[in-house]
A and B are shown apart, each in its own frame.
Chain A
Amino acid sequence: MLEVAGLACIRGDRKLFSDLSFTLEEGELLRLHGHNGSGKTTLMRTLCGLSRESAGEIRWNGASIHKLGEEFTREVVYIGHKNGIKDDLTGVENLRVCSALDGCPVTERQAWDALERMGLMGHEDLPSRVLSQGQKRRVALARLLLNKSRLWILDEPFTALDVAAVDFLQSIIRDHINSGGMVILTTHQEVKITREQVLELRLGWKEAGHV
Chain B
Amino acid sequence: MRLPPWTGILSRSIAAILGGYLLASLVAACCALGLALPRAEAVMTGAMLAFAVHAGAVIYAFAVRSAWRAWAGLALPAALLGGLLWLLQSGGAA
- The answer to whether A and B belong to the same complex is no
